[in-house]
Amino acid sequence: MLKIYNTFTNKKEEFKSINAGKVGMYTCGPTVYDYIHIGNIRSYTTPDILRRYLLYLGYEVKHIKNITDVGHLTEDDIVQGDSGEDKLVKKSLKEKKSPEEIANFYEEYFKETEKEMNILPANYFPRATAHIPQMIKIIESLIEKGFAYEKNGNVFFNICKFSEYGKLSGNTLENLNVCKRFDGEEHEDKKNQWDFALWLKAPKNHLMQWQSPWSVGYPGWHIECSAMSTEYLGEQIDFHTGGEDNIFPHHEAEIAQTECHTGKKWVNYWIHTRYLLVDSEKMAKSKGNFYKFEDVKEKGFSAMDLRMLILSSHYRSQMNFSWESLTQAQKNRKTLENFFARITNSAIHNFNNQQNKRSKIDIKKFQEQFENAMNDDLNTPLVLSVIFDFVKNVNSVLDKNENTNLTEVKSFFEKSLNVLGIVLEIKSLKLPKEIVDLNKENEFIDLKNILGTVLLGISQEIIDLMKQRNQARDEKDFKKSDQLRDEIKKLGFEIKDVKDGYELVKL
Amino acid sequence: MLKIYNTFTNKKEEFKSINAGKVGMYTCGPTVYDYIHIGNIRSYTTPDILRRYLLYLGYEVKHIKNITDVGHLTEDDIVQGDSGEDKLVKKSLKEKKSPEEIANFYEEYFKETEKEMNILPANYFPRATAHIPQMIKIIESLIEKGFAYEKNGNVFFNICKFSEYGKLSGNTLENLNVCKRFDGEEHEDKKNQWDFALWLKAPKNHLMQWQSPWSVGYPGWHIECSAMSTEYLGEQIDFHTGGEDNIFPHHEAEIAQTECHTGKKWVNYWIHTRYLLVDSEKMAKSKGNFYKFEDVKEKGFSAMDLRMLILSSHYRSQMNFSWESLTQAQKNRKTLENFFARITNSAIHNFNNQQNKRSKIDIKKFQEQFENAMNDDLNTPLVLSVIFDFVKNVNSVLDKNENTNLTEVKSFFEKSLNVLGIVLEIKSLKLPKEIVDLNKENEFIDLKNILGTVLLGISQEIIDLMKQRNQARDEKDFKKSDQLRDEIKKLGFEIKDVKDGYELVKL
């Protein structure tokens, strides 16, 4: 049973889905005005691990991740000031491009980075600017119900009307010491200091502005998530995830808007990733310890090295990034890669006496340890230690040439790595001639299945061509055999004839 | 001097740009609710040829192609009815996806198809839904100036206020027989039958709707092009291109809106591609002669075969598509490919006595013929015949082993093909050992330059590795030589040692 830490209740809770077997998940995506940094990448890895584990447990998951391309003001993250410039507009003016061009560019970059990091793509990435009408509808509903008020073309949410305001972050109305008196410093049209903007009247010539019942303007930052979440996931969802810095004011405001609009409890489990440190300090451009994905790759590390490093800290702990820790993560990744090559080679070379072997390795035990660690609030560092323990055990059995069921070993290893989203790739593999021949004869060995997870890119087509080539060679038709070798090469693999078999090399 | 047929004046005109050396070009892009078909592809090839030739002539070109993701009604193409459903909304309801999801999918498909067809990507592809505020501004300006009127939340352009209405298509006010009496059949709020919608009030629960000063609704189809063209190219542009079916009502309406808004002449040259026939009939889904790009590829034809076929008809003639004509186009493409391989091989094998050769081929003459044909309203069929004549001449010179300056021959051939957007690819090329050695020694032969256009994907890195490998072999360091061969392979090329040289094969 998965237990997960809910920021809303401040405790680990047993997960129960709203609809049996189905999960709705919303993740606050990027504001597309700049390159995402390694802290963002860590933040998006958490819902990916959660989603992969839910899939492992058999759930059907619908995952929505928004693209913020309007409304995020430069001061929004720090205070509920509703002041500052729109981040997209600021960049547009700087680069002399339209906000849409800026947004498109960084959206593409973001998606490309997620792909390299092997983060499963959201089922849909809705853009804020494409949902202005939906936002306006919710704002109208909030005004109608008395939770929001308009003044001079600006619309604000009156936090004093929502007694549960502050439950997520602990910034309760009492703690914030509001709803008493307010001198109107934050924004002249606000009733209370912590009221937040739903709609703001645009200054003249503002680069992004839309018609609304209140003014020509633009939406506040928070309303988009309420609009897109209800649009694509309905009025109640299982998970809402984001970075720790989203808790207040962003997620607090989202709850107020959505629940006052629908009259229902909105999110069952709030999941937040803690921020990342670099060399034990907070990452900041001014300190020169601010790293983008490119910085990591330029130093010769792969996306999978970074993923290994991220997994080695629990998502709620303060992960410390350093080049030393990344080097260690790379070593760990290589250890797993060597192990993967070893068991695959062993499995292939011992294919004909696999079936009835009794294993020296207690796979069930490791599987339980793996699931227990994942069930304990996605404890990925513990999962990694289970996997390395497993690797050690299997290696020791193989060193002693003892019996073990390598198919089961491989299957557990692959499933676990899939939940972690770690992809290991082997570039070359030796195949005994027998296996190809047997495969040709009666197909009881599923070569595609054995090779598919190791030599990425191998396909049934390639295996069929290998079979045909075998036949051509048996018939001494070397011209045809060479043609088939060339066809295989076009598909990205080179087949070399070695003693008693073949070597298959990924090009 | 480029002469181009201007639909607005119905004659070929000498092209003069608004700003010296610079060209602004707007192309009506796809309505992203379905796969584009071969007729669309032809339509987008015309501005690509125009743009490539303008680049050849030394102009700097800014090219904008819009993505229509709202406002295009099912009846819009046929009559100025402003009735029918929104094409995106209709597809959304059918596929149970949001209009944004539908639009994203077909936008991606469209861009992918253009890429395969080697159509240069527009400098920017603005989306209609991202420019609603800009459209509203123009509509406001038109109402203010008396060119448009609002009734019941709908806004229409009053064509009787724009005396030049109909100049592009010939559907003048007089011919349309309007501005006299009108019984209000087309739309109950219209003053004149041919008035067209700028803004329409949305039915309740309509999937796409925005706030406006007049109603919650959506824009008419035409206004987006006026808004995005002025946004990205300014108030006056050199070229506006589209399919013949865009002339009326779409482009006629665009002119009326834009010129009444700015008070300036808008487009200097209107370029329209004539529609395509299939087996001498108009393409229609009901007739079973409706082909998408996929249909062409499934029959074993490449994007370049289709491009060759498109080029073999003039863009203003009624091109007739048939599988026979496509087969002929494929043959022609292969003829060019064989020729390209031949002259490249010859150039490489005769590298050391190239410099002072007097050519048997009068390149200047062919270049003049090429430019004359392009200058004559982009006469691509004539250009192709010039190129095939050139091929025949060069082949005959090579057959007789006569002198010719192959570098010049190759350069003219490559430049011409680049204007046509035809990419020819050779998979394998033999290199004499000398050339690699000389290249290694004194670098006076620019191998990258010679090979780069033929063996797509070759890079300076690969050539450097070849040089290093040569050195290793000279020093009998075969281990290193093999390592270098493997490195080259990773970059996508295999190097084979053949008699007196190398064969370089693209994998």
Alpha-carbon span A322 to A260, nearest angstrom: 44
pLDDT on residue B184: 52
Phi, then psi, of A277 in degrees rounded to 5 = -105, 155
| Span B311-318, average pLDDT | 95
CATH tag, A3-128+221-273: 3.40.50.620
Find, in chain A, the residue whose alpha carbon is nearest to that of B123.
A101
Q: Which of A100, A208, A213 sits opposite B211 (nearest CB)?
A: A213
| Span A251-255, average pLDDT | 95
pLDDT on residue A351: 64
Please give the structure tokens belonging to residue B426: 């050779």
Of B347, B336, B341, nearest in space to B385 by CA: B336
* Of A78-87, A110-119, B60-69, minimum mean pLDDT range: A78-87
Q: Which residues of B touch A211 (CB under 8 A)?
A: 132-133, 136, 210-213
Note the pLDDT tens digit of each residue in B233-245: 999 999 999 999 8
Q: Do the Cβ atoms of B489 and A490 come within 8 Å?
A: no
Q: Which residues of A touch B126 (CB under 8 A)?
A: 98, 100
What average pLDDT does chain B have? 89
The DSSP call for residue B170 is S
- How close B213 gets to chain A, by Cα (Å)? 7
Q: Do the Cβ atoms of A126 and B216 come within 8 Å?
A: no
Q: Which residues of B touch A133 (CB under 8 A)?
A: 208-211, 216
Domains of chain A, residue spans: 3-128+221-273, 425-507
Alpha-carbon span A76 to A72, nearest angstrom: 6
Find, in chain B, the residue whose alpha carbon is nearest to that of A135.
B210
Alpha-carbon span A409 to B28, nearest angstrom: 58
Number of H helices, E strands in chain B: 17, 16
Q: Which residues of B touch A210 (CB under 8 A)?
A: 132-133, 210-211
The DSSP annotation for B280-325 comes to: TEE--GGGT---BHHHHHHTT--HHHHHHHHHTS-TTS--EE-HHH
Neighbouring residues of A220: CB distance < 8 A, sequence distance ≥ 6: A71, A82, A196, A197, A198, A199, A200, A253
Alpha-carbon span B224 to A95, nearest angstrom: 24
Q: What does the H/E/C string look like for A207-246?
A: CCCECCCCCCEEECCCHHHHHHHHHHHCCCEEEEEEEHHH
Q: Do the Cβ atoms of B211 and A133 come within 8 Å?
A: yes
Q: Which of B136, B209, B213 sits opposite A133 (nearest CB)?
A: B209
Q: Do the Cβ atoms of A213 and B209 come within 8 Å?
A: no
Contact B225, B259 (CB under 8 A): no
Find, in chain A, the residue whose alpha carbon is nearest to that of B488.
A507
Q: Do the Cβ atoms of A100 and B492 come within 8 Å?
A: no
* Of A392-401, B31-40, B181-190, B320-329, minimum mean pLDDT range: B181-190
Between the CA atoms of B435, B438, B442 and B444, what dihedral angle is there, to the nearest 10 degrees? -30
Cβ pairs A/B, distance under 8 A: 56
Q: Which residues of B touch A494 (CB under 8 A)?
A: 489
pLDDT on residue A262: 96
Q: Pick the most confident of A45-49, B163-167, B272-276.
A: A45-49
Q: What does the H/E/C string look like for A238-300?
A: EEEEEEHHHHHHHHHHHHHHHHHHHCCCCEEEEEEECCCEECCEECCHHHCCCCEHHHHHHCC
Q: Do the Cβ atoms of B98 and A216 come within 8 Å?
A: no
| Span B38-42, average pLDDT | 96
Find, in chain A, the residue whose alpha carbon is nearest to that of B212.
A211
Alpha-carbon span A62 to B417, nearest angstrom: 48
B384 pLDDT more than 90: yes
Q: Which residues of A touch B489 (CB under 8 A)?
A: 494, 507
Q: Which residues of B touch A126 (CB under 8 A)?
A: 98, 100
Q: Which residues of A touch B127 (CB under 8 A)?
A: 100
Query: What Å distances lie between residue A280 and A277, A283, A326, A381, B134, CA to CA?
Result: 5, 9, 14, 19, 48
Note the pLDDT tens digit of each residue in A192-237: 888 999 999 998 888 889 999 999 999 998 999 999 999 999 999 9
The DSSP call for residue B369 is H
B269-286 burial: b if 16+ Cβ within 10 Å, else e = bbbbbbebbbeeeebeee
Please give the structure tokens belonging to residue A152: 């001079």
pLDDT on residue B310: 97
For the B3-145+222-273 domain, the top CATH level (class) is alpha beta
Note the pLDDT tens digit of each residue in A92-140: 888 889 999 999 999 999 999 999 999 999 999 999 999 999 999 999 9
Note the pLDDT tens digit of each residue in B279-302: 888 887 778 888 999 999 999 999
Q: pLDDT-based confidence at B455, cuts 50/70/90?
A: confident
| Span A1-24, average pLDDT | 96
Residues in B whose CB is inside 8 Å of some CB of A read 98, 100-101, 124, 126-127, 129-133, 136, 208-213, 216, 231-232, 489-490, 492, 494, 507
pLDDT on residue B431: 78
pTM: 0.81
- How close B211 gets to chain A, by Cα (Å)? 5
Q: Which residues of A touch B213 (CB under 8 A)?
A: 211
Find, in chain A, the residue whose alpha carbon is nearest to that of B489.
A507
* Residue A490, helix vs strand vs coil: helix
Q: pLDDT-based confidence at B402, cuts 50/70/90?
A: confident
* Of A187-191, B51-55, B357-361, minimum mean pLDDT range: B357-361
Which ipTM did the prediction report?
A: 0.73
Contact A259, A266 (CB under 8 A): yes
B389 pLDDT more than 90: yes
Note the pLDDT tens digit of each residue in A431-481: 777 666 665 554 445 677 667 667 777 887 888 888 888 888 888 998 999
Alpha-carbon span A495 to A488, nearest angstrom: 8
Q: Which of A127, A210, A492 sits opposite B211 (nearest CB)?
A: A210
pLDDT on residue B442: 47
B78 pLDDT more than 70: no
B356 pLDDT more than 60: no
Note the pLDDT tens digit of each residue in A337-382: 999 988 888 877 776 655 556 678 899 999 999 999 999 999 999 9
